[in-house]
Amino acid sequence: MMAQLQQGGPDEKEKTTALKDLLSRIDLDELMKKDEPPLEFPDTLEGFEYIFNEKGQLRHIKTGEPFVFNYREDLHRWNQKRYEALGEIITKYIYELLQNECHLKKVILPVDAIESEPKSFIFMSEDALVNPDKLLVLIHGNGVVRAGQWARRLIINEDLDSGTQIPYIKRAIEEGYGVIVLNPNENYIEVEKTKAQIQLSSDISDEPAEKRERKDKIQKETKKRRDFYEKYRNPQKEKETMQIYIRMIQREAEVKNRVTAVALTDSVHNVWHQEVGKTIREWMRENCCNWVSSSEPLDTSVESMLPDCPRVSAGTERHELTSWKSFPSVFKFFSEAIKAKNSLVKPTPTRRSHRIKYEEF
C-alpha cells in the first residue's frame, strides 16, 4: 500500500493520462490571446504618465514614484509588452537628446543608398570626419538598446547618466574629440513575409560552400530561438515577418591602422567563435582593454583564459553598470594611448595588477 501511494495508484495514472490528453487538444496560442488584454499602449511618455526629472530619473507625473513593471498582476507578458512599448518611446527620447543636448547630427547609412533599399542611421558631431586630432566612436552592446544607450534597464530604473552614452559624449566633446555614435542593433528592417521576398532572400554568394553552409546553419538556429521567444512574449502576433539586412563592409586593415585604443565594457566577444586571426588577437592585446564585472576595486587586473586583451575590474559586479563605473578609467586609458602613439611608444596602462588612483576625477 505504501509503495502504491508513493508511486501513484491506477486512479492517479488514469487522471494523469486524461490531463495530458486534454492539454494536447488545447490551442495554447488561442488560449493566451483570450486571457491577454489588447496590446495597446500610449505612444508618448506623458501618455504613460512618466517624465524624466531634473536628475535624469524616470518618475510618475502624479506620484513621483519610479517605474512599476507589474502594472497588472498575473499578466507577465502584457507587462513585458508595456515595458517594451515604453522602451521604444525612450529610444526616440534619447535620439532627441543626442541631437538637441549633445548637438549631434543624424546621418543615414549607407551613404550611397538608393531610395528603395533598407537604411539605418548613426549620429555624428559636426567635426567627426574632419577633426585633425582624435575621434571617439561609441558602440553599444547587443539586444534592444539603440544609438546613445548602454542599458534600457538603467535608463528606466536608475537614471540617464548611468544608462546612456551622453556623459561619454559630453566628456569627449569637452576634451576635443570628434564623436560618432554607432547604431549596430539597427542593422535590418522587418517586413511581412511574401513568396517573392522569400525567393529574393536566397541570393547567390561568392563565399566558399563550407563557410556559407556554416553561416546558414547559425542563422537558422538563431531564427528558431528568436521565433520561439517571440511566440511566447507576443502571442497576439498574427503576421509572419522576415528581416532584410542593411549593407555592411569589413575593413580590418584600415581599422587596425587608424584605431589607437579600444575600451570594452564587460564584452561578451569570443575570439574563438568569431573567426579572429592571429594578427587581430595580437592587435587586441596591444590596443584593447576590457573592463569586466568584478568584485575587485576599479582597474584591478582580472585573469582571463582567452588570448585576446587585458581585463581589469570595472568596480561593479553588475554587467549593465560597467560602462558607467569605468567611465573615468576609460578616458584615462584613451589619453595615455594617444600620448604613447604620439611619442611612438606602446602604451601599457592595462597591464597593472594594482589599483590605479585617479585623483583628478
The DSSP code sequence of 31-80 is: HHHHHSPP----SSHHHHTEEE-TTS-EEETTT-PPP-S-SSTT-HHHHH
Q: What is the pLDDT of residue 50?
A: 97
- 107: which strand partners? 122
What are the residues whose beta carbons fall under 8 Å from the beta carbon of 57, sequence distance 6 or more? 66, 158, 159, 160
In whole angstroms, give the CA distance from residue 125 to residue 27: 53
Mean pLDDT, residues 129-146 taken together: 95
- pLDDT, tens digit (0-9, with 9 covering 90-100), for 336-353: 999 998 886 554 544 443
Q: Report phi then psi at 52, rounded to 5.
A: -85, 125
Whether 56 has a pLDDT exceeding 50, the answer reads yes
Q: What is the pLDDT of residue 273?
A: 60
Reported as type and span, the H/E element at residue 330 is helix 327-342
Mean pLDDT, residues 84-97 taken together: 97
Q: Where do the DSSP E strands lie in 159-211?
A: 178-181, 188-192
Cα Rg of the chain (Å, integer): 25
Q: CA angle at residue 183 from 321 to 312, to 5 degrees?
A: 35
The predicted model scores a pTM of 0.73
How far is the CA of 152 from the CAs of 6, 180, 322, in angstroms? 49, 20, 14
